[in-house]
Amino acid sequence: MILAVEERLKVSVLLAGGFLAYGGLQRPEVNPINYVTRVESPTLMLNGRYDSILPIDTVQKPMFEFLGTPPEHKQWKLNDTDHIPPINDTIKETLAWFDRYLGPAKK
């Protein structure tokens, strides 16, 4: 939700991103479907291909497709792991994404 309403966030990385189903218990003001289309910042989504908590076709893919970010500024990377990608891959991909959109870190 914060990515949809906070203008100071210029770029984002979603680790194990996806829609969680709560059996219709979510109120509209907190339902992610009402926010995800308003996310316009460059967004990288890092997921595991074999995630049993957030399956690709029903949870991960819909969130990625609904993101309001223009296609050229969003990327979805699947690692051959379960729920959370390996930390080294996550760090590498995150730093590359931030460098691309925010520039390299200065000393």
Q: What does the alpha-carbon distance between residue 75 and residue 23 come to, in Å, rounded to a whole number? A: 28
What is the end-to-end Cα distance of the chain in Å, rounded? 32
In sequence order, which residues have a C-beta less than 8 Å from that of residue 60 and are 6 or more positions away? 17, 18, 45, 47, 51, 54, 76
Reference 12, options 79, 102, 82; nearest CA is 102
pLDDT one-digit tens code per residue, 78-92: 999 999 999 999 999
The domain locations on the chain are 2-102
Tell me: pLDDT of 14 over 80: yes
CA-based radius of gyration for the chain: 14
pLDDT at 8: 95
Architecture of domain 2-102: 3-Layer(aba) Sandwich (3.40)
pLDDT one-digit tens code per residue, 47-59: 999 999 999 999 9
Q: Collapsing DSSP states into helix, strand and coil, what is residue 21?
A: coil
Dihedral sign from CA coordinates of 82, 84, 85, 87: negative
